Amino acid sequence: MVLNYDVLILVMSFSQRCDIGRAMRSCRTLCAAGIPYLLDGTIEIRSRGKFIAFCLFMLRDPQHRFPYLRHLDISLVSGKFKTPHAGRLFTMLFEHAQRLETLKVFH
């Protein structure tokens, strides 16, 4: 049985963000349908590990993910990243985030 893509998007609109993330892991079609809902609202990042994971997630398909990133709130405890490429990831994230409306960075 194959669901229409529009139906998948409608179902996603009634789901919680955590449920959308779980559904997105099940197949590529759900992953594509869930991106706008997963990135809807303010994305809050509170740890270095989550920041790096978020950057890698966004940069995996920048053309289809960054248009939905509107509000980003990054609050990291001072200190150094254990990953040597974190600075490059940070730079690449903001090179692609051209539609970002709100950015809060606390470090």
What tens-digit pLDDT sequence spans the chain (107 residues)? Answer: 566 777 877 887 888 888 888 888 888 888 888 888 889 889 999 988 898 899 999 999 999 999 999 999 998 776 666 777 778 888 899 999 999 999 998 86
Tokens 């920041």 found at: 51
Token couple for 33: 């349908």
User: What distance in Å separates the CA atoms of residue 43 and residue 99, rounded to the nearest whole number?
Assistant: 14
Q: Would you report the helix, strand and coil content of the chain in percent, each value rounded to 5?
A: 55, 15, 30
Phi, psi of 26 (to 5 degrees): -85, -30
Q: By the 8 A CB rule, do 23 and 3 touch? A: no
Question: What is the structure's pLDDT at 2?
Answer: 61
